[in-house]
Amino acid sequence: MRRVEIVANIASGSVGPNGPATAERILAEYGIAGTVHAPADGELEACLRQAIDSNPDAVFVLAGDGTARAAAEMAGPDGPPIAPLPGGTMNMLPRAFYGERSWPEAMAACLTDGTPRMVSGGEVGGRLFFVAAILGSPALWADAREAARAGKLRLMALRAHRAYRQMFSGRLRFSLDGRPAQKTEALSLMCPLVSSGLDENERALEAAALDPSNAVEIFRLGVTAITGDWRNDPSVSVERCRLGKVWANGRIPAILDGEPMRLEPEVHIRFRPKAFRAVVLPH
């Protein structure tokens, strides 16, 4: 790499006000030309666009899950490679590429050993994801999580109560690859990048219908998720898909690569074999 652009969100997770200075020091240490941007509130998206359009050898994104996903979506398969550094809380995409490295360690490794690689992903309702998506009422718990992260405990309690009340009240209907429609409480979609049930080069998504019928089954499903045995849980059915449709009576709560959002009452699913180019490290 000869020139890189770095976009650092100092308000995000583990970045902090000293993050840009640390990034500049690492660039200087490895003799790489580049600019470190620390956009103010409301300027992040425009800053990402400017960095990508300047056509550097790579764009390093030091921010949370939502910004990492947005940068990858913005760059697409024809833009510069994206290095999503772990600057947030969950760091879903960074962990998929760089494991448990801190962001300075991941940045240094990318500068010395990073290579571009095309990464597949998924699309739901026109929005891309590269790790996993979950659709349905369990995604409502993400709103409570965001309130807790912001220190708004009363709001967290209200959102948690709302999420609990809405469990089992708005089931999804879905059809995958033209198969007959089914009902479920939630639908999880995992990309080949992280799914242990898919080969890394497989051209499909792993779709898991999560359908616990009561609170006891939700608890059991949570335990099996922790132990890694959730595929064998009787309330989970797993399929592969390239195309699909999900619909409900109202807007669908969802989490895409750790970012909570609301989707339209009917959305289409699509596997994207060439989603964006990432800066990856040797296995």
pLDDT tens digits, the chain, 283 residues: what are they? Answer: 899 999 999 988 788 889 999 999 999 999 999 999 999 888 999 999 999 999 999 999 999 888 999 999 999 999 999 999 999 888 889 998 999 999 999 999 999 999 999 999 999 999 999 988 888 877 766 666 666 666 777 766 775 656 555 554 568 999 999 999 999 888 889 898 877 677 767 789 999 887 765 554 554 444 444 344 555 666 677 889 999 999 999 889 888 987 888 899 999 999 999 999 999 998 7
Please choose, from the candidates 127, 252, 245, 124, the residue with its C-alpha nearest in 3D space to the C-alpha of residue 186: 252
Tokens of 54: 């300047």
Q: Specify the 3-state DSSP secondary structure of 123.
A: strand
Decide: helix, strand or coil at residue 1. coil
Q: Which helix (H) or strand (E) holds 162?
A: helix 153-166
pTM of the model: 0.81
C-alpha span between 85 and 104 (Å, rounded): 8
The DSSP code for 35 is E
Range list for CATH 3.40.50.10330 in the chain: 3-113
Rounded CA separation 36/26 (Å): 11
Between CA 156 and CA 83 the distance in angstroms is 32
SS (H, E, C) 141-188: HHHHHHHHHCCCHHHHHHHHHHHHHHCCCCCEEEEECCCCCEEECEEE
Domain(s) of CATH 2.60.200.40: residues in the chain: 127-274
Q: Which of 163, 283, 193, 175 is nearest to 239 (CA)?
A: 175
Tell me which fold the domain 127-274 belongs to: Tumour Suppressor Smad4 (2.60.200)
Give the architecture-level CATH label for domain 3-113. Answer: 3-Layer(aba) Sandwich (3.40)
